[in-house]
């Protein structure tokens, strides 16, 4: 397997490569697309970190806003987790995602492999002209910093968050039409107001509270 991008943790990349190779040689894959793919033909692409937006933080923020408090930024409200890679087959089709997580020893290891609905959506979002233009801005006064998968599991939201060194031009591309048009740019403050409203309808003691 090879990798198609450079700005990522090499330790995370190697953990994913080693973990996938080990699973292919031992117990194999259980998900349908990986199960029928030739392991030697698989490649990794689009390395990115995951930004988690927990339910409790959204609900707390909604209460603060209702009390007239100044809103916090998306950067403040999220936890940035380990690395996620898309897996493509020999036809350049995204078929799965692999997560590299940090274990108790501080080392990366292969975590979850999944073929969920956001795999193809993430791949599509990375191809959008607005994302490509943003990622090319490396040398201006406010350069591109990174792309993250923004997820709010409790309300089933996922979007590709394009983040700059300073926040003002940040934008998110929702990966489905659950709350906003899919793959249309939305600025963080507008997105948060919509997600907070959705979060307010979820019971505070939900198992997805985060």
pLDDT digits (tens, 9 = 90+) for 139-183: 778 999 999 999 999 999 999 999 999 989 999 999 999 999 999
* Distance, CA of 161 to chain centre: 8
- At residue 8, the pLDDT reads 58
Whether 171 is in a domain gets the answer yes
The encoded tokens of residue 78 equal 């999220």
Q: How far apart are CA 136 and CA 93, in angstroms?
A: 24
Please write the tens of the pLDDT for every residue from 19-45. Answer: 999 998 998 888 899 999 998 899 999
Any idea which residue has 């300073």 for tokens?
Answer: 166
Whether 2 is in a domain gets the answer no
- At residue 119, the pLDDT reads 97
Instruction: Compute φ and ψ for 152, nearest 5 degrees.
Output: -125, 85
- In a 3-state reduction of DSSP, which class is residue 104? coil
Instruction: Give how many domains the chain has, as a whole number.
Output: 1
- At residue 169, the pLDDT reads 94
Whether 86 is in a domain gets the answer yes
Whether 14 is in a domain gets the answer yes
Q: For the chain, how many residues are written?
A: 210
The encoded tokens of residue 147 equal 């792309």
Whether 102 is in a domain gets the answer yes
Q: How far is CA 115 from CA 18, 57, 160, in A?
A: 19, 28, 17
Please write the tens of the pLDDT for every residue from 80-113. Answer: 988 999 999 999 999 999 999 888 888 899 998 9
- At residue 207, the pLDDT reads 53
Give me the domain span that covers residue 188. Answer: 10-199
Model confidence at 2: pLDDT above 50: no
Whether 204 is in a domain gets the answer no
Whether 187 is in a domain gets the answer yes
At residue 5 the predicted structure's pLDDT band, cuts being 50, 70 and 90, is: very low
Half-sphere exposure of 198 (CA within 13 A, CB side): 19
Whether 4 is in a domain gets the answer no
The encoded tokens of residue 122 equal 């993430």
In the chain the beta strands, taken as DSSP E runs, fall at 43-52, 79-88, 94-102, 108-114, 144-152, 157-164, 171-174
- At residue 54, the pLDDT reads 96
Kindly state the DSSP code that residue 3 receives in the 8-state scheme.
Answer: B
Q: Name the pTM for this structure.
A: 0.90
């Amino acid at each position: 397997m090879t990798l198609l991008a450079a700005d990522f943790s090499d330790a995370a990349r190697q953990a994913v490569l080693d973990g996938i190779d080990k699973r292919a040689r031992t117990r194999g894959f259980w998900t349908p697309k990986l199960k029928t793919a030739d392991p030697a033909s698989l490649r990794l692409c689009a390395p990115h970190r995951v930004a988690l937006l927990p339910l409790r933080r959204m609900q707390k923020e909604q209460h603060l806003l209702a009390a007239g408090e100044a809103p916090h930024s998306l950067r403040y409200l999220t936890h940035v987790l380990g690395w996620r890679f898309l897996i493509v087959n020999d036809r350049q089709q995204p078929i799965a995602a692999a997560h590299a997580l940090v274990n108790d020893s501080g080392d990366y290891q292969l975590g979850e492999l999944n073929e969920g609905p956001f795999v193809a959506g993430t791949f599509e979002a990375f191809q959008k002209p607005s994302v490509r233009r943003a990622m090319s801005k490396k040398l201006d006064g406010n350069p591109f910093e990174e792309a993250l998968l923004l997820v709010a599991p409790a309300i089933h939201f996922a979007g590709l968050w394009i983040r700059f060194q300073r926040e003002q031009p940040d934008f998110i591309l929702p990966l489905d039409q659950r709350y906003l048009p899919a793959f249309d740019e939305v600025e963080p403050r507008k997105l948060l107001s919509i997600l907070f409203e959705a979060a307010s309808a979820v019971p505070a003691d939900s198992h997805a509270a985060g």
